[in-house]
Structure 1
Amino acid sequence: MTRQHSIGSWWAIVISLFFATVARAHTIIVYPGWRGNNLYSNGTVEETDGLSVKYASNATGDRDYLYPFGMQWLYPCGGMPMSQNRTKWPVKGGAVSFQPGWFPGHKTALIYINLGIGTVPLNMSLPMLSPFQITGPTVEPYPGTFCMPQVPLPPNITVNVGDNATIQVVEIAKHGAALYNCVDITFAEPEDVEQVTRRNCFNSSHLTAQYIYTVDVDKSAAAHPQMISAGLFLIPLLLVGYFGNLF
């Protein structure tokens, strides 16, 4: 089976640098691949009457839809249809690697990795990991790759070799807007899957990750400012050590 738009991290950086000059660049799934190039934006918000996408009034071809914010803002897969060339991915779970920094304002972002079952999934409602936050070096676009060497299947989900599915990577900016990217996969035995290497799955030194915790907010919180401050100081230290064990 042909591997779907899979690229080494060095090639992804070259592509991203190119599109950063001609479009509003976003995210790229480096491994296991992506549906296709959706690093594309055109038109203006005025032309679409505030919509994320609109058919141009003088449309004559496939690229005549207007995406003033960029294609990747469109759920579920950044405006890209299902791919005919699927990527093989391990039947027990495997690596996912992506580049998060090709859009301004993503010094911090929340990351979701979801699974949709079937050739054309009805939705992407099966979380593969708990959401986590990434922190980059700047609010401006930046290079860098983030790798998770072993992303498991969602809880209570069993698949077989030959089954089709789609992996969705979601990056949520600090203002709540989300970027979507997908890779269409076919589950396979590990020995039949492209090898994971330090070229296609690695963690850049200037990117860090933190788990997300929830805390009840009530009136009692205001009475313990010192306790809260101490807790907020300790949590990042604990997270660094705990998250480091994953890699």
Structure 2
Amino acid sequence: MHSQQSISQWTALAVMILACVNWVNAHTIIVYPGYRGNNLHTNGSVEEAGGLGSAYVNDTTIYPYGMQWMYPCGGMPTSTNRTKWPIQGGAISIQPGWFQGHATAFFYFNLGLGAIPPNMSNPMLPPFQIIGPSANPYPGTFCLPQVPLPAGLTVNVGDLATIQVIETAKHGAALYNCVDIEFALPEDCVKVTQDNCFNSSDIAFADIYEVNVTTSAAPPSLMAPGFTPISFVTLITMLFAGLLI
């Protein structure tokens, strides 16, 4: 089981993959608790696929835009081995990578229920933005130490689910990655430490704003009346306090 593997193995695998696929323009790796598998893969051409994100050509599935662009889990099937994850929520650590030419991205964390979820329609967190050091692909890491279950959801030890992580660029295109989990008691899960859950100094977080369109059709600025900031710092504080669980 993945839960029996050390996180140092996950980290070493992630670093190795990043070192070996420098031709990839974008990538996301779920370092903790793990991910379905290596989908840092691009093959075929847009012409061969007829403009589709994936196509079956000459007995081979091609991904001209890369596997990670494919909903819901970056072109990867459900895992046969599952990672144990706490029944009250737990840590998620990400190597976000970067879209070539984009130094910012939005992140979404969703949960799909069951052995093979019919959808990933259960948000675990409000979306937030990360800001990188440049427009080049970047293998830094960020970690959320306590990601809660979706509001109102109760699970039991042994229940199966899938965590979906989505990274979107400023033009709206998205990368998808998943980890298939089995809910377990915290003591039966891989321990979270400073080695597998840390935030790189080069990655910053930013607020996302929402506008009340009933009060202002065209607000002059992001600080205009009707905008409510969602502070990532406040979010993390609430997570530690257990207010979102």
Question: Normalized against structure 2, the TM-score is what?
Answer: 0.86
- Could you say which residue in structure 1 is the equivalent of 2:49? 48
1:13 corresponds in structure 2 to: 15
Aligned-pair CA distance for 1:209: 1.4
Question: Secondary structure of 1:72's match?
Answer: helix
Q: What amino acid is aligned across from residue 242 of structure 1 in structure 2?
A: T
For the Cα contact (< 8 Å) 1:116–1:126, is it kept in 2? yes
CA contact (8 A) 2:108 2:126 kept: yes
Equivalences for residues 31-70 of structure 1 within 5 A: 31-56=32-57, 58-59=58-59, 64-70=60-66
Partner of 2:243: none
- Choose 111-120 or 201-210, whichever is displaced more: 201-210
Counterpart of 2:3?
3
Residue segments in structure 2 that go unaligned for 5+ positions in a row: 241-245
The answer (yes or no) to whether the contact 1:28–1:100 under 8 Å persists in 2 is yes
Identify the residue that residue 148 of structure 2 maps to in structure 1.
Answer: 152
Partner of 1:93: 89
- Structure 1 residues 52 and 199: CA distance shift in structure 2, 3 A: same
- Whichever residue aligns with residue 66 of structure 2, its letter is G
The 8 Å contact of residues 27 and 99 in structure 1, kept in 2 or not, is answered as yes
Counterpart residue type for residue 16 of structure 2: V
- Match for 1:3: what amino acid? S
- C-alpha displacement at 1:9, in angstroms? 3.1
- Structure with bigger gyration radius: 1
Are 1:180 and 2:172 counterparts? no
Structure 1 position 11, deviation (Å):
3.8
Q: CA deviation at 1:24?
A: 4.1
Note the alpha carbon deviations across 1:50-90, whole angstroms, 9 max, x for none.
1111111x33xxxx211110001111000000000000000
Structure 1 unaligned residues grouped into runs of 5+: none
Letter in 2 for 1:39: L
Query: Aligned equivalents of 1:77 and 1:112: distance in 2?
Result: 13
Q: 1:207-238 deviations in whole A, cap 9, x for unaligned?
A: 1112322113579576x85xx47669xx98x9
Moved over 2 A (4+): 1-11, 216-222, 228-232, 238-247
Change over 3 Å in CA distance of 1:193–1:220 after alignment to 2: closer
Offset of residue 42 of structure 1: 0.7
Task: Give 3-state SS (helix, strand or coil) of 1:191's partner.
Answer: helix
Q: CA deviation at 1:37?
A: 0.6
SS of alignment partner, residue 47 of structure 1: helix
**Residue among 201, 205, 209 paired with 1:213:** 209
Q: Paired residue for 1:242, among 211, 234, 240? A: 234
Which digits, 9 at most, give the CA deviation of each residue in 1:122-143, with x for residues without a partner? 1000000011111111111012
Superposition RMSD in Å: 2.6
TM-score of the pair, normalised by structure 1? 0.85
Q: 1:128 aligns with which of 121, 124, 133?
A: 124
Could you tell me the percent identity over the aligned residues? Answer: 60
Structure 1 pair 168–69 and aligned structure 2 pair: CA distance change class (3 A): same
What is the rounded CA distance, in whole Å, between the counterparts of 1:177 and 1:220 in structure 2? 28
Distance 1:28 1:229 in 2: 32
User: Paired residues, what number?
Assistant: 236
Q: Contact 1:16/1:102 (CA < 8 Å) preserved in 2?
A: no
Contact kept? 1:44, 1:68, Cα under 8 Å: yes
Letter aligned with residue 18 of structure 1: C
Change (3 A) 1:159 1:141: same
